[in-house]
Structure 1
Amino acid sequence: MTEARLRTFVALADTGSVRAAARRLYVTESAVSAAVAALTRDLGVPLVRKEGRGLRLTAAGAAYAGYARQVLGLLEEGRAAARGAADPGRGTLRLAAVTTAADQLLPELLASFRERWPDVELTLEVGPRRQVWSSLAAHEADLVLAGRPPAGLAATVLARRPNELVVVGAPHLADGFTPAGTPWVMREPGSGTRASADAYLAEREASPPRLVLGSNGAVIAGAAAGLGVALVSRDAVGSELDAGRLVVVDAPGMPLDRPWHAVGGAAPSATTLLFVRHLLDAPGWSAPGGSGPDRNGHESAAEATGGSRAAPTAGPD
C-alpha cells in the first residue's frame, strides 16, 4: 500500500471513471487500473464495481475512501508542518473559505500577505460550508475562513471578525415589507447564508416567493434589480448602499450577528500561525478570548470549539 495507490483510488472515487482519474493524475488508464487492483489485493475486498460506462464504489470502497482521504491529508499536513517548522516564511498554507469570505475578506488579505511573505506556497479552496469543513476534518486544509464550526468538529478558533447579516432590497421593496409577503432572492441550498435565511423565515412561519440564484454576487445584483429582498452580509453591500441601489430593510429580528471565524486544526503549523498573525493585524479581526499566537508562532489561548446549533447560527457562506 503506497501513497501513489491511495491518490489513485481517491481520484477514481472522486471522478467515477478510470479515464477521468487518469486525466486528473496525468497517468495512463492502465496505471490507474493497476493501482486500484493492487490496493484491492492488499485489502482483500472489492473496492469498485462497474456501472454502465463508469465505476461505482462498493460499500467497502466508500468506507475506505474516507480513510484514504484522511491519510493523504495527514501526509500533506505533516509535510506542511515540517516545512513550516524549518522556516515558516517558506512553508505551505492550504486555505479553504466559503464563497462570501473568499469574495469579501480574502483578496486584500492575500495580497498583503503575499507581499510580506512571497515564499509561502499558498493554495485556496473555495466552496460551500459543508465542503470547507469537510476539508478541515480530512486534514486537506490548514485554515478555514467561514462561519461558526459545526458540532463535533475537532477544531481551534484562532481569530474572529464581526459580521452582521441584514435584509436588503431595492428602495421600492423596503416600504411595506413583510417576511411572508415580499419576494426573496436566495443562495443555493448548502450555503450558510441560505440556512440562516431559511431559519429566519421558518421562525416566523413565513413562506414567501423565493428565487434561488447561484452566487452571492448574483443575489446582490438580483436584489438591486428589484427581484426581491435578500439576507446578506452588510460588508458585502457597502457600495450598493452608498449608491442607493439597495437599502437596509427594517425587518423584525434583524440584524443577525454571524461573526467570521478563522479555524485551524488541533495543532496549527508555524506557517498557518504566520497567516493568523497577519490576520490579527487586519482591521476588525481579533483573537478569541483576547489572546492568540505569540511572537514565536505558538498558540497561546485559542479557543477549542466543541459544538454549535445548526441553521440559525450557521453563519455566512
Structure 2
Amino acid sequence: METFLAVAKHSSIRRAAAQLHITEAAASAAVAHIEKQLGAKLIAKSGRGIALTEAGRVYADYCRSILGLMKEAHAAVREAETGKLRIGVVATAGEYVLLRLLASFRNRYPDIELGLSIQPRDVLFVELSHHETDLVVAGRPPRDTTLVTRARRPSQLVVVGAPGSWSDPAEATWLLRGKGSGTRETTLALFDRLQIRPPTLTLGTHGAALAAAREGLGVTLIHTDAIENDVSDGFLDILTVDGTPLSRPWHAVTTRTPTPAARLFLSHITDPERVGDKAFRCP
C-alpha cells in the first residue's frame, strides 16, 4: 500500500521508487501485484507520466485510511497507560459515584493524566460528540447520535423532602435543576404523567436542590446515590409518589472509537473485584 500511495503521490513509478529507495522494477511489480489481486486497473498512462484511474482513486483513499489507523494503533499501544483521559460527568454522579472509581483508577494507572468536566447532561453529550471529552458518565444519551453506551450502573430516582414537611407532595413546591438537566426533564415529565402543575423553584444544581429540601423549602426528584446518608441520618424522607421510584441507570458513554485511556477506564469500572459495589455492568 505504501508503494502504491507513493506512485499515486508522484504520478511516476521512477520518483516513487526513488522515495522508497527501491528499484523501479520492484515498484512497478508491487502495483501490478495489487491490480492482479483486485482485478482492476489502478493506474494508466497520462502524457509522459501516469494517473490514477477511478478505481485507483478509490483504492488510494482506503489505503490512506488504513495506514492512518495503523499508525494511530501503534501510537495507542505505546501511549495507552501514559496518555490523557478527559471525563465528563453530571454533578450527582461526579460526587456520589465517580470519585471512588477515579481514585482507584489513578492508583492503578498513575501516569494517565485525568481531566474532569462537571456539566449538565446536554452539554456533556455535545462535548463528547465534538471530541472535546473522551468519556461521559450521565443519564441515557440522546437517541439521534452516534454515541455508544459502553456500560451501565443501576440507579433510581425518588422524591424526597424534610421529614413531616409535606403530607401531599402534589401540593408541595418542587425544587428543580437548571435547564439541560436530565433530572429536570424527568421531573417535568412526571408532572404530565400525574397531571399536576405544582409551584416550582429552580435552584440550578443538585446540591442546592438537596440543601433546600433538607430545610423544608420543597421536595425534589433525585438519584438514590445522593441521599443515602441524609435518609439514614433522618434529614430526608423518601416520599410516596405515583410513578416513582424511576429506574434511571448511569451510562458510561463514548464515541464509536474510544481512546485507549477510555478503554482502560471502562475495563476498570466494570471489574467488581477492583471497584466493589460501585462497578458498572457491560450492556
Q: TM-score, normalised by structure 2?
A: 0.70
Q: Which runs of structure 2 are paired with 1:101-250 in the superposition (5 Å)? A: 101-174=93-166, 176-179=167-170, 181-250=171-240
Counterpart residue type for residue 118 of structure 2: V
Deviation track 1:64-94 (CA, whole Å, cap 9, x = no partner) reads xxxxxxxxxxxxxxx9976532131112111
Counterparts in 2 of 1:113 and 1:288: CA distance versus 1, 3 Å: closer
For these two proteins, the number of residue pairs brought into alignment is 210
- Provide the rounded CA distance (Å) in 2 between the counterparts of 1:119 and 1:99: 26
Query: Helix, strand or coil for the counterpart of 1:198?
Result: helix
Q: Is the 8 A contact 1:84 1:92 kept in 2?
A: no
Once the two structures are superposed, what CA deviation does each residue of 1:81-140 show, in whole Å capped at 9, x if it has no partner? 765321311121111111222122222111111111110011111111111000111111
2:63 is matched with which residue? none
Q: Could you say which residue in structure 1 is the equivalent of 2:258?
A: 268
Counterpart amino acid of residue 126 in structure 2: S
What residue number does 2:39 align with? none
User: In 2 relative to 1, CA 82–92 (structure 1 residues): closer, same or farther, beyond 3 Å?
Assistant: farther
Provide closer, same or farther for how the CA distance between residues 187 and 264 of structure 1 changes in structure 2, counting only shifts above 3 A.
same
> Equivalents in 2 of 1:111, 1:288: separation in Å?
21
Which of 285, 290, 295 is 2:279 aligned to?
A: 285
Rounded to whole Å, the distance in 2 between the matches of 1:98 and 1:286 is 16
Matched, 1:98 2:90: yes
Contact 1:185 1:230 in 2 (8 A): yes
Name the Cα RMSD after superposition.
1.9
Match of 2:51 in 1: none
Structure ID, larger Rg: 2
| TM-superposed deviation, 1:216 | 1.0
Shift of 1:286: 3.7
SS of the equivalent of 2:81 reads: helix
**Partners of 2:74 and 2:123 in 1: CA distance:** 26
**Distance 1:272-1:122 versus aligned 2 partners, 3 A rule:** same
SS in 2 for 1:196: helix
Structure 1: unaligned runs, 5 residues or longer: 1-78, 290-317
